[in-house]
Every structure is written in C-alpha cells, then in structure tokens.
C-alpha cells in the first residue's frame, strides 16, 4: 500500500457532551464539532502541554480553537466564552479525540 492512499482531507465529526452532570443541566446534551485529524503541531503542543501543569492554560487555549460549530467555525470568537465547567469538558473531549 502506498502512503499517499492514507492521506485524506480532515472531516468534521460531532462530539456530544452527555455525561450525567451535563444532562442534568442541559437535558439534550451539548454538541460541538472537531476535525477528525489535526495538524501535527497541534497534537505535539497538546501532548507536551499536558505533561506540565504550568502549560495547562496553553493547552486549554489551543483546544478552544478546536471546538467548532457544524460549519467548522470556532465557537469561541468575538469575545464569546463557554462556562468554565463546559469548556473543561470540551477540552477533555478534544484531547480524547486526538488520542484516537
């Protein structure tokens, strides 16, 4: 098999926050999108940031840029911010997705 055969364009995939606490507050769960593949530099930055608690803020900022709407646009733009607890859940889901 040729390596080029493995190369594909990133696709948006839906991620749902549907843990017990989220469902308690938002009965339908919360959906957002991420690219199924990320640039290698994002993966490396997240991997290295997660190793050092001093860099956790950097990891959160990078993950925030990966939380997208159904059109592939960043959710947190123009001063919009998610509630802290929801943002942390999004970060965990983004990191989980990167590990796949």
Residue-level pLDDT at 63: 79
Q: pLDDT tier at 29 (50, 70, 90 boundaries)?
A: very high
Q: What percent of the chain has pLDDT over 70?
A: 90
Q: Which residues does residue 51 pair with via DSSP β-bridges, in sequence order?
A: none
3-state secondary structure 24-80: HHCCCCEEEEEECCCCHHHHHHHHHHHHCHHHHHHHHHHHHCCCECCCCCECCCCCC
pTM equals 0.82
Q: pLDDT tens, 34-63?
A: 998 888 887 787 777 666 667 667 777 887
Q: pLDDT tens, 58-74?
A: 777 887 889 999 999 99
Domain boundaries, the chain: 45-100
């Amino acid at each position: 098999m040729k390596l080029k055969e493995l190369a594909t364009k990133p696709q948006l995939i839906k991620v749902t926050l549907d843990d017990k606490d989220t469902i308690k507050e938002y009965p339908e769960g919360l959906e957002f999108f991420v690219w199924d593949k990320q640039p290698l530099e994002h993966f490396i930055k997240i991997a290295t940031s997660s190793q050092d608690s001093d860099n956790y803020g950097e990891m959160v900022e990078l993950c925030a840029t990966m939380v997208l709407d159904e059109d592939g646009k960043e959710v947190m733009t123009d001063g919009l911010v998610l509630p802290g607890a929801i943002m942390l859940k999004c970060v965990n889901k983004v990191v989980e997705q990167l590990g796949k």
